A = this chain, B = another copy of it.
Amino acid sequence: MTLHDLAKELNLSIATISRALSRPEDVAPLTRQRVLAAVHRHGYTPNGTTRSLRTQQTRTIGVVVSDIRNAFFAAVVKAIEDEARANGYTVLICNADEDSAKEEAALQLLLDRKVSGVINCSTGANLDLLHTFQKSGAVLVDFDRESGLKNLDTVVVDNRRGAELATEHLVDLGHRDIATVAGPQHLSNARGRLIGFQDTLRKHNIQVKKSFVQYGNFRQESGYQAAQKLHSLRQPPTALFVANVEMAAGVIAFVRDKGVTIPQEISIVSFDDSFWARYMDPPLTVVAQPVETMGKCTMELLLARLRGGKPAQTKVFMPELIVRRSTCSPARSPR
């Protein structure tokens, strides 16, 4: 059922039908009624594809996240979507799995679809594609990580500060053998978290052992492996700062497999909070990001940009340490 069909049925021109739907005041009341009745009778819906073609805008925002099952991203996406929908935009979610090839595929898809904007949790690769986006007139926003591109809005948490908060907390408890499961260093957030960790230790004159810095890829399995490596060390750490929830999940899986007790044998503090962190055994001490606010803000910036005007800006949100029970003073006294 198209405008054409309706026009024929009602003996009107397609223009009149179109107008009856989009600018009711431009059409005689009686005509409008007839049109509306027919539309309803046939369950007609304008073809969004064609409208996009004609109006040259898809009113769609692409969001590239690493994994929608990750509670952090799920929450962000929800916030983004609510805000988008409220403004008449649709959100297209793509999983990149922290894999630059998949990210490329996702971006290519969004490019094909001529989205109005992209919220990118970049792997840092694919700069060329992102650049193509900008040239195409799409609005780009970096979220969670900085792609390194110029002239785009950026929404991040203060990663160094978050790591400081976490590390400081461990040091305060008396730990000296503190390790970290860091994220991939090509990501700005992972770098920030590692630097915050290292700086804090140095500030307290604690040597940063190389073996105490394990690198993961922000995904669960890598957390498991990192924990494994740390555990097999001659002198394992008494405390651990994990750079994101997913890896923390992996760490916890390993620790449980091994029967290591938290926090007595190892204190754990992780970046990112989630509903479950609170009810875990033991409840997890975490560095929480204001997820909903950040998601909403991201979309607001994007929409503002779309409406034109405003120059690009960077919003840095403050993380918060939530002390629960996965951290305590070390059993063996510090050397």
A93 contact set on B, CB distance < 8 A: 91, 93
Question: What is the number of residues of chain A that contact chain B, defined by CB distance less than 8 Å?
Answer: 50
A100 in the interface (beta carbon within 8 A):
no
Query: Given A43-B135, A81-B95, A281-B282, are A90 and B69 also a contact pair (CB < 8 Å)?
Result: no
Contact of A276 among B48, B109, B280 (CB under 8 A): B280
Taken together as a complex, chains A and B put the C-alpha atoms of A192 and B264 apart, in Å, by 45
Taken together as a complex, chains A and B put the C-alpha atoms of A279 and B274 apart, in Å, by 13
Contact A49–B81 (Cβ < 8 Å): no
Binding site for B on A (CB under 8 A): 43, 45-50, 52-53, 58, 67-69, 71, 74-75, 77-78, 81-82, 85, 90-93, 95, 105, 108-109, 111-114, 128, 132, 135-136, 220, 249, 252-253, 256, 274-276, 279-283
- Total copies of this chain within the assembly: 2
Q: List 6 A-B contacts (CB under 8 A).
A: A47-B114, A49-B113, A68-B74, A71-B71, A78-B95, A249-B276
| Min distance, Cβ A296 to any Cβ of chain B, angstroms | 15
Taken together as a complex, chains A and B put the C-alpha atoms of A69 and B72 apart, in Å, by 9
Contact of A112 among B45, B256, B281, B282 (CB under 8 A): B45
Contact B43–A49 (Cβ < 8 Å): no
Taken together as a complex, chains A and B put the C-alpha atoms of A95 and B80 apart, in Å, by 12
Contact B90–A92 (Cβ < 8 Å): yes
A75 contact set on B, CB distance < 8 A: 69
A47 contact set on B, CB distance < 8 A: 53, 112, 114
Of listed A53, A75, A105, residue having the most chain B CB within 10 A = A53
